[in-house]
Structure 1
């Protein structure tokens, strides 16, 4: 009888814990920087009241270096983790192109530094800025 009572309490506690869903974004690597901040790889930034984005990997940087005449201006693609209330998705965002994720349009709006002629940019030197547009 005592074993059955303890088992029932443990089961009820376990089931209650499983039903709990956070209404806050999942965020790793410390507190998010304020909206509009330029952030490094791995640094989270708040882009809305309940959305946090974190650039995780530089996927592509094919921008034309400053002072060089190019046929194509190129682009930057950054693998970005997007955290919302109780959900997380990872997408590749392309500079200057909106991408729809869960009823929001995300935009990688700025990438620094500018591409340099004849030399690469160390990944740790990159900084990114994001924007979100809410759609109804």
Structure 2
């Protein structure tokens, strides 16, 4: 019985290490990303083409309120984490513009709710849609 202990210990260690293995080519992400085109909240990952995108923070929401008249349309900027195969990037992405990194291009195509003049939008109410370009 004692002769088998080293072999059994080595086998158990190999199983433990195999459980910690990183799958080559898989994005570094926590949680299950939803499908591209799905509106997502802050910290909710979404698969966009071959990468996973996660909105982290609203940096600026200076859009013209839907119930007001403005000289300038304003903009919505969202700090966004982009995870690819073995890499991670964070960028401030503006609604309607694209951002390229590591050979992938993503766009923030929608930010809801629309801004109103009555009150600031709480971060928890925002939903964002990203697409691959």
Q: TM-score, normalised by structure 1?
A: 0.79
Map 1:96-111 onto structure 2 (within 5 A).
96-111=96-111
Is the CA contact (8 Å cut-off) linking 1:113 and 1:125 kept in structure 2? yes
> Which position in structure 1 is the counterpart of 2:129?
129
1:124 aligned counterpart, secondary structure: helix
What corresponds to 2:42 in structure 1?
A: 41
The 1-side partners of 2:24 and 2:58 are apart by 30
Quote the residue 1:118 is aligned against.
118
Runs of 4 or more, structure 1, over 4 Å off, are none
Counterpart of 1:27 (choices 15, 26, 29) is 29
Whole-Å Cα distance in 1 between the matches of residues 112 and 38 of structure 2? 12
1:21, CA displacement in angstroms? 7.0
RMSD value over aligned CA atoms? 1.8
Tell me the TM-score normalised to structure 2 length. 0.81
Q: What residue ranges of structure 2 are gaps of 5+ in the alignment?
A: 1-13
Q: Name the CA distance, whole Å, in 2 between partners of 1:36 and 1:117.
A: 28
Q: Across the two proteins, how many residue pairs are aligned to each other?
A: 115
Deviation at 1:104, TM superposition (A): 1.9
- Stretches of structure 1 that go unaligned for 5 or more consecutive residues are 1-12
